[in-house]
Amino acid sequence: MDTKKLKTAVIGEIDSRRHQLRELSLKIHSNPELGFHEVKAADWLTQYLEENGFPIERGICELPTAFRGSYGQGKPAIAILAEYDALPDLGHACGHNLIAASAVGAGVAAKSAIDRFGGSVLVIGTPAEELYGGKVIMADRGAFDNFDIAMMVHPGTHNTATTEALACQALEVEFFGKAAHAAARPEAGINALEAMLQSFAAINSLRQHIKAKARIHGIITDGGQVANVVPAHSAGTFLVRAEDDAYLNELKQRVLNCFIGAATASGARLEYKWSNVCYAPLRNNLTLAQLFRQNMQSLGRQMPLSDPSKGFGSTDIGNVSQLVPSIHPFVAIAPEEVVTHSPQFALAAASEAGSKGLLDAAKALAMTVVDLVANPEIVVKVKDEFAGK
């Protein structure tokens, strides 16, 4: 069977499973589970894969809701990544239910390509994308070391084959001052809230003079208890983001200097901690993105390689993309004015457009697997690009 016929077969396979895949995505959507607690979702997904001939390892990387399903043994080893965590209060407002169903659908449909040409397809369950960077932990624990390629598709409001995602690290800060009666003895107090407010002012000044794509943003999580006591304690959480690791490191020190300066000025003592999880920027493999794009376009969905008007955040596949040639395209399931992480996007993730996005994503992923296993020279090209050759 040639590549073209195999792609037609793969599309037919996903079409014949469209009710099952939609049901799977809706079941996850109506049972939202937070990061590292995606017990039901991991069960349903692994069960589906197992019923369709994928041996499963559960709880890989010492993460109970992570899993690995594999079909075939050979090279290239192509990983399709599934996410399935939800957001607090908002449920599946990032549409990870669709990522999950498209990943298992693509894996199962790609079996015929593996049977015909060899290689292996792996569906990797990666928990806790939203809050804890599950893939960062999995990457550190070697989960992606033996793969040749990693792919996933995220739902969004634009179709794009590449994604811009920034390096990102979180900072927890606390100021310790001294309580005093705010009117009777203000001179006896050291105001920890003022230290925090000065830090914000210093960061706002800094922001005028940083690179265009860098981001610094934070919240106050403790600003005192009552207005007539000088706050003895304040706390906040900040995120620092940059286009690359080198600039992130530079910026981290400059942000920290804002807090150190405020501590000196106010007399409050500063304590801080950088998060253990550091998101790496996303390296898009353009050879892979072009293949995916062509497959998506053959399904009738126009897909630019990139969309400069699209905003950027950070994602834990960034860390995977530093180890293995990767892509993280977006498939539009809602109009442009709907933002992700909103109740409207949660509705879209259970809509007809959501299902269409899931099926197109599964098809284009499986078709890309066909291209890769049928054309070893393309895999070489993908790897050469990754190696900077």
Binding stretches for Zn ion (CB under 5 A): 94
Taking the C-alpha atoms of residue 217 and residue 274, their distance in angstroms, rounded to an integer, is 14
Q: Measured between alpha carbons, how far is 69 from 62 in angstroms, rounded to an integer?
A: 16
Least separation in angstroms between CB 130 and Zn ion: 5
Cβ nearer to Zn ion, comparing 163 with 355: 163
For 384, the enclosing helix (H) or strand (E) is: helix 376-387
The long-range contacts involving 242-247, CB below 8 angstroms and separated by at least 24 positions, are 242/166, 242/167, 242/211, 242/213, 242/214, 242/215, 242/281, 243/166, 243/167, 243/211, 243/213, 243/214, 243/281, 244/167, 244/281, 245/167, 245/280, 245/281, 247/167, 247/211, 247/214
Residue given tokens 């910026």 in the structure block: 251
Is 242 or 346 the residue whose CB approaches Zn ion more closely? 346
State the Cα–Cα distance between residues 259 and 206, nearest whole angstrom: 12
Distance from C-alpha of 336 to C-alpha of 316, rounded to nearest angstrom? 24
Residue closer to Zn ion by CB (options 151, 202) is: 151
Of the pair 137, 255, the CB lying nearest Zn ion is at 137
Nearer to Zn ion, 94 or 168 (CB): 94
Q: In whole angstroms, how close is the CB of 110 to Zn ion at the nearest point?
A: 23
Q: How far is the CB of 160 from Zn ion (least distance, A)?
A: 14
Residue 128 or 270: the one with the smaller Cβ distance to Zn ion is 128
Rounded to the nearest whole angstrom, what is the least distance from the CB of residue 359 to Zn ion in the complex? 19
Least distance between Zn ion and beta carbon 154 (Å):
6
C-alpha distances out from residue 364 to 9, 74, 83, Å:
13, 22, 18
Cis peptide before 335 (omega within 30 of 0): no
Element (H, E) at 241: strand 233-242
**With 0-12 CB in 10 A as exposed, 13-18 as middle and 19+ as buried, what is 336?**
exposed
- DSSP-assigned beta bridge partners for residue 151: 80, 327
**Cβ 329 to Zn ion shortest distance, Å:** 13
Of the pair 94, 370, the CB lying nearest Zn ion is at 94
Minimal CB distance residue for Zn ion: 94
CB of 343 to Zn ion, least distance (A): 14
